[in-house]
Chain A
């Protein structure tokens, strides 16, 4: 590997680590196209490298967010069996679904999610009832709001369904599935955006590990490129974790909505181009 290529992989990884931790995405959604278009990596190897980078993003941000309580570890634990099951089903279905149908559905879902996040859902985040909360209720210190935020978790079955779908998507597209998990946790369960981002980040490592294990054993992981990309992710992740604690909730939601619509537009463009 040339030094220029190494520097490029490290820089791409650092950018993906920052954005991934800021938005609760694994970064695979940026890494896979970059590897294919800029570094000329074959598609399967790019997907495998993207999944490895997702694990790096999740482990870097998830460790810190779990320790500080921003990630809701118990909620993540309840949802993880569904997301891993989805990832396994996705790995089994990968070659049987029409890519056009899959990408079309995915783009439609992203547009709906983006619109839902842009229009602020009123009264979305439920306060826990007085006198003690439930097993999954959470709290964290919000640096931007300057106080403790407490919330209750509701509609867990809906989040279980969304987690299954996110796992399915992870295996089929080589992403972490945060683009589905974050809006589901926020809009269905009433989890505040920052906690949703942190909890999604905590979960996506396990989702990606299930898919990555299959790719790893098939010999698709280019070790040096994946290592360089992951080291870049580890360098960029602390900045994303730092930023998410300081950004205002509304700003974070709007940024996520814009990213969602941009990705949907890119997918639709690819579909229309045939």
Chain B
């Protein structure tokens, strides 16, 4: 059996972060689309839902960084931290 599979609980942590991020964003996006279908302005809610969806991969990388830090696996933690730093840089780049 491959050594130490899911020793840090990384599979569960990533799955949970993705599922909850998706549920929150889907609920808000669905409310926005339903309002629009009913003839009212749902664009604000739809935009908020899209923003939550964009934040989901950040949340996933953050949860993995926390899991690897707790398990003291510094090589995998460094990768997760690098992803977070690069995503933050991409976000800052968009503001320029």
Contacts and interface: CB of A to CB of B under 8 A. Distances in A.
Interface of A: 1, 3, 6, 52, 55-56, 58-60, 62-64, 66-69, 71, 73-74, 77-78, 80-81, 84-85, 87-88, 91-92, 128, 132-135, 137-139, 150, 202, 205-206, 208-218, 221, 223-224, 226-228, 230-231, 234
A224 B64 contact: no
Contacts, number: 179
Nearest to A80: B83
Closest 9 pairs between A and B when the two form their complex, measured CB to CB? A67-B15, A63-B18, A217-B94, A137-B2, A227-B29, A227-B46, A223-B47, A133-B2, A214-B94
Given A67-B11, A139-B5, A227 B91 contact: no
Contacts of B79: 77-78, 80-81
Given A67-B12, A133-B2, A216-B94, A1 B37 contact: yes
27 contacts: A52-B53, A56-B53, A60-B18, A62-B14, A63-B15, A68-B11, A69-B11, A71-B11, A73-B10, A78-B76, A80-B79, A87-B90, A88-B86, A88-B90, A133-B1, A133-B3, A134-B2, A138-B5, A139-B1, A209-B87, A213-B87, A213-B91, A213-B93, A214-B90, A215-B94, A227-B32, A231-B26
Interface of B: 1-6, 10-12, 14-19, 21-22, 25-26, 29-30, 32-33, 36-37, 42-43, 46-47, 49-51, 53-54, 56-58, 60-61, 64, 68, 76, 79-80, 82-83, 86-87, 89-91, 93-95
A91 B86 CA distance: 13
A84 B2 contact: no
A231 B29 contact: yes
Contacts of B57: 55, 58-59, 205-206, 208-209
A230 B93 contact: no
A156 to B, nearest CB: 12
B32 A55 contact: no
A223 B47 CA distance: 5
B66 to A, nearest CB: 13
Nearest to A234: B26
B3 A214 contact: no
A132 B87 CA distance: 35
Nearest to A65: B15
Given A135-B3, A150-B2, A217 B91 contact: yes
A77 B2 contact: no
Given A224-B43, A227-B46, A56 B22 contact: yes
